[in-house]
Amino acid sequence: MTKQFPEGFLWGASTAAHQVEGNNTKSDFWLMENVEGSMFKEPSGSAVDHYRLYKEDIAQMAKMGLNGYRFSIEWARIEPEEGHFDAVEIEHYRNVLLTCRQWNITPIVTMHHFSSPQWLIREGGWESAGTPARFARYCAHVIRELGDLIPYVCTINEANISLGIKKIMKRHQAQAAAPGAQVGMNTDRMAQMQKHYDKLSKAFGSPALGVQAFLAPRSENGLQIIFKAHMEARTAIRQACPQTKVGITLSLYDYQSVAGGEAQAAQALQEEFLQFLPYLQNDDFFGLQNYTRAVYGADGILPVPEGAEKTQMGNEYYPEGLEAVVRYVWKSLEIPIIITENGIATDDDTRRVAYIDRALQGVHDCIAEGIPVKGYMHWSLMDNFEWQLGFSRRFGLIAVERTTQERTIKPSGLHLGSLAKKNAI
């Protein structure tokens, strides 16, 4: 039986600038990738050259049938040195937005997706009390220039991700089996992390780099700085362009428990979501990102069940988690939801097709019960650079042959596009 989605539902895919654009030489990640003894399996280099090929890629989205594109603007391009805004880069992103308009694709723009300007890290990064004002200044500049083309802004991607990183590092040190990260961490080289940070500190000229980059274990103060940056940016964006809707994205598991683990699961939900609700009350929408579940027992998080299917990230294949997360987010934060990331890393594209169908079934059930889910952005548009894991993980609806940068739409991309065309599953 065909199940229709609401008129105007956004069907799309997501990317992050550093993972697809290439040659982001002013960012902290570029330096982290290229320092001797790097934790990264390989540098991003030209990535999948989306900076040059964005017109082709957006046209491919339209060809597939998608009508939404979530992408990020790279702060290190816009403000390569503090206080210096690059007009050429503003024009580049203007052209990206105009290309979306040309193909009737609604843009959802993320202002910070993990990578930061090198100068920001030297100034204390995401542990510095000055970062919220600096971030708001950058957001205000972009929105003053481009806001008329941007209907939705996500200020910060996965503002809570440092909590998950801290837990994964702790489990790794204890040699405990558990679900993998929802971001590309190279746990094979975890033992050399301190040596890596020492070298980076010299390269950046910053003695405490380990906690200043965004993808690092945060102090309690650092977490507050991130969410203060969100609130200050939200104010700045609304002042510059009142019609632009503003939200944030969080990385969330479907928190489950077995007998004896109920308190642990409730604590994880509190730590990774509920504690941040006061910062989000005035947002226009919530960007929801989910990939799998986390099951807790009396002694903490449990390993993926024996025999369960796993993705390339080491996560349990569990598309039903999305529905559960939509429900608990709506219960706690009654604002519209956009699913800004959901997907799997796999070379078996038939499993991606099945994942999409099962995830969207849950989304439709939520909408049918009155939960205002406004769109579904699959992660990711194309195979790309998965941070410390390099190009070894494939999340994309589009395959990329990196020696030629040739794109090939996968059956999963055609499948999601076919659902978008009929606005139904």
Phi-psi region of 261 (alpha: psi -120 to 50; beta: other; left: phi over 0): alpha
Rg (CA), the chain: 20
Query: What residues have CB less than 8 Å from 209, skipping those under 6 apart?
Result: 121, 125, 197, 200, 201
Distance CA 355, CA 359 (A): 6
Alpha helix (H) ranges present in 65-130? Answer: 75-78, 87-102, 118-122
Distances (CA, A) of 315 to 106, 182, 321: 31, 8, 12
Distance CA 138, CA 131 (A): 11
- Is 306 an active-site residue? no
Distance CA 314, CA 104 (A): 36
Q: Which of 158, 232, 341, 386 is catalytic?
A: 158
Query: Quick check: 247 and 158 in contact, CB under 8 A?
Result: no
The secondary element (H helix, E strand) that includes residue 70 is strand 68-72
Distance CA 144, CA 197 (A): 37
What SS3 state is found at 254?
strand
C-alpha of 114 from chain center = 8
Distance CA 240, CA 107 (A): 18
Residue positions annotated with a catalytic role: 158
